[in-house]
Amino acid sequence: MTKYIFVTGGVASSLGKGILAASLGNLLQARGFRVTNQKFDPYINIDPGTLNPYEHGECYVTEDGHEADLDLGHYERFLDVHMHKSNNITTGRIYQNVIRKERKGDYLGKTVQVIPHITDEIKRNVMAFGKTGDYDFVITEIGGTVGDIESLPYIETVRQMKWELGSDCLCIHLTYVPYLSAAKELKTKPTQHSVKDLQQEGVQPDIIVLRTEHEITDDMKRKVALFCNVDVKAVIQSKDASSIYRVPLNMLAERLDEVVLEKTGFDINQVPAPKMDDWNHFLHKLENASKPVCIALVGKYVQLQDAYKSIHEALIQAAAYNDRKLVLTSILSDDVTEANVAELLKEQDGVIIAPGFGHRGFEGKVIALQYLREHGVPTLGVCLGMQAMAIEFARNVLGQKDANSMEFNELTTHNVIDLMEDQKSMLNKGGTMRLGAYPCKLKKDSKVAAVYGKELIEERHRHRYEFNHKYLKDFEAAGMLCSGINPDSGLVEVIELKDHPWFIGVQYHPEYSSTVLHPHPLFLRLIQAAIGH
């Protein structure tokens, strides 16, 4: 019987529900259980694909081509399993499904309402995982904070499922315990209020996790237990951690997994202890690396910490495995000029040119790339970053001064980055995006084939424009090799510079598939090149 664990949040947003849900998944998995994580987002967009990164952080892409919430990235990084479209559901999708069914007549003349039709649709999306028989635990995170109008139907679904499933369904509520420095006191009142909100909606939390900057005393735990009707053992502190990757171990020390197992009917003495050796090995490296490696990320959304989440995490992982401490400098590409580029980049051991959409900040990327190419700085171009590499090369090496991308300038004579013919006809309808995993064949003896140690790879995409084949010969003759090709369509996936220590551009997004236990080879090798190995 599959057990369903819901993670709700109260008091404030951004408390780390995603990391908590991923950490619990990680611990249960380490005890041998089959686990999946799911995220509900209470907004009306069908998916976050259309959201500006400033609104909602990075858009994560799953293997099956779903544009997803960035928490799915945490789930993959922590659990080392692939997420799919069904792991991320928005209110928009729920309503879309219900309205589609209504139009088809599936509701047989009934008045379609939030309860039971919307809640049934939510329930169906949670329980579909149980039906596969593939999972012992489904951990579902509910976005937003309890008390929001938007999250009401989700909380109502939790209420119904708890009622129907008894101890096979739990609710973990994450709250914040603020510290008042003037009074030198931690305050549990907001937690009590937030639990009341949840109770008012009919849900009694089984476990309360208190996010805090200071140690919570046993007395305070007892107080929370008493006021919120939970066992003292089920009041768990989650103190600020030095790294998100420490959270599973903190939760293990607080016995979160044990409480979950006991409450869902397991005899804890019969359950294997969690195997955390590989995780601990990584954490040891992460926490003991002292020598720095300086990497710059040049992009247009760098002011927002979450906008390039997966790249950041992939770099942290890769630096740790190379026994280096990552020193990441974010450079707003709009600010890069010919006058300041050397100053901005001269201290860097390696650079990543970020993905992106639209023209703003693009020319700064091109200026940075000219410097990086000419000065032999290890550089990885990701998606738009790779396209910028191609354009810089065409302008400054091939002498095509007006080389550009069709995305910015339809009139240029040198569209080095272009739309495919079949896409052009669809442009008026919004065009098409290449989304999700596609195969790529790497050229034997290329630098990128050495990075991967194999010739056939599969990587995730999220872009519309492509390298224009018309320029392939000129590029290769001048020393820019097209070293990765899609075997089905012939599209260029990887370019690399022959006479440069490490200058690789990839049309895909390697950052999405870098996990703690399987860091991505491109990031590992970029760091290696950056530290001179």
Catalytic: 509?
yes
Min dist. Cβ of residue 94 to ligand GLN (A): 27
The residue (of 350 and 356) whose beta carbon lies closer to ligand GLN is 356
H or E element, residue 434: strand 434-442
Tally the residues of the chain: 533
Restricting to residues 311-370, which ones interact with ligand GLN according to CB under 6 A? 355-357
Burial class for 3, CB neighbours closer than 10 Å (0-12, 13-18, 19+): buried
Min dist. Cβ of residue 161 to ligand GLN (A): 37
What token pair was written down for 470? 């018309």
Min dist. Cβ of residue 159 to ligand GLN (A): 40
What token pair was written down for 27? 């611990």
Which three-class secondary structure string do you get for 5-74? EEEEECCCCCCCHHHHHHHHHHHHHHCCCCEEEEEEECCCCCCHHHCCHHHHCCCEECCCCCEECCHHHH
Min dist. Cβ of residue 415 to ligand GLN (A): 12
The residue (of 61 and 172) whose beta carbon lies closer to ligand GLN is 61
The residue (of 25 and 356) whose beta carbon lies closer to ligand GLN is 356
Which three-class secondary structure string do you get for 216-271? CCHHHHHHHHHHHCCCHHHEEEEECCCCHHHHHHHHHHCCHHHHHHHHCCCCHHHC
Min dist. Cβ of residue 358 to ligand GLN (A): 7
The residue (of 83 and 383) whose beta carbon lies closer to ligand GLN is 383
By DSSP bridging, strand 415-418 and strand 466-467 are: antiparallel
Number of residues in contact with ligand GLN, rule: CB under 6 A? 10
Contacts with 65 (C-beta within 8 Å, 6 or more apart), sequence order: 85, 435, 436, 437
CA–CA separation, 463 and 65 (whole Å) = 11
Catalytic: 383?
yes
Which of 66, 74, 500, 509 is catalytic? The answer is 509
From residue 253 to residue 272, the character string flagging contacts with ligand GLN as x (rule: CB under 6 A) and all else as - is --------------------
Beta strands (DSSP E) in 347-398 are 350-353, 379-382
Catalytic: 56?
no
From residue 406 to residue 425, the character string flagging contacts with ligand GLN as x (rule: CB under 6 A) and all else as - is -x------------------
Which among 14-22, 168-176, 274-282, 460-468 is the span making contact with ligand GLN, rule CB under 6 A?
460-468
Min dist. Cβ of residue 75 to ligand GLN (A): 21
The residue (of 73 and 355) whose beta carbon lies closer to ligand GLN is 355
Which among 86-94, 249-257, 441-449, 458-466 is the span making contact with ligand GLN, rule CB under 6 A?
458-466
Min dist. Cβ of residue 465 to ligand GLN (A): 3
Sequential DSSP letters for 435-474:
EEEEEEEEPTT-HHHHHHTSSEEEEEEEES-EE-GGGHHH
What token pair was written down for 359? 């023209």
Restricting to residues 372-391, which ones interact with ligand GLN according to CB under 6 A? 383-384
By DSSP bridging, strand 88-90 and strand 137-142 are: unpaired
**Scanning the structure block, which residue is given the tokens 């109260």?**
10
Q: Do 248 and 78 contact (CB within 8 A), yes or no?
A: yes
Min dist. Cβ of residue 336 to ligand GLN (A): 17
Sequential DSSP letters for 176-202:
EE-EETTTTEE--HHHHHHHHHHHHTT
Min dist. Cβ of residue 356 to ligand GLN (A): 5
- Residue 511 touching ligand GLN (CB under 6 A): no
Instruction: Pick from 93, 414, 441, 462 the residue near ligand GLN by CB under 6 A.
Output: 462
The residue (of 352 and 384) whose beta carbon lies closer to ligand GLN is 384
The residue (of 129 and 308) whose beta carbon lies closer to ligand GLN is 308
Q: Do 29 and 77 contact (CB within 8 A), yes or no?
A: no
What token pair was written down for 391? 């354009």
Which among 214-222, 363-371, 457-465, 484-492 is the span making contact with ligand GLN, rule CB under 6 A?
457-465
The residue (of 249 and 495) whose beta carbon lies closer to ligand GLN is 495
Which three-class secondary structure string do you get for 101-169? HHHHCCCCCCCCCHHHHHHHHHHHHHHHHHHCCCCCEEEEEECCCCCCCCCHHHHHHHHHHHHHHHHHE
What token pair was written down for 28? 């249960």
Which among 288-296, 390-398, 461-469, 491-499 is the span making contact with ligand GLN, rule CB under 6 A?
461-469
Restricting to residues 463-482, which ones interact with ligand GLN according to CB under 6 A? 463-465
The residue (of 371 and 465) whose beta carbon lies closer to ligand GLN is 465
Which of 169, 383, 440, 482 is catalytic? The answer is 383
Give catalytic residues, as residue numbers. 383, 509, 511
Binding residues for ligand GLN, rule: CB under 6 A, are 355-357, 383-384, 407, 462-465
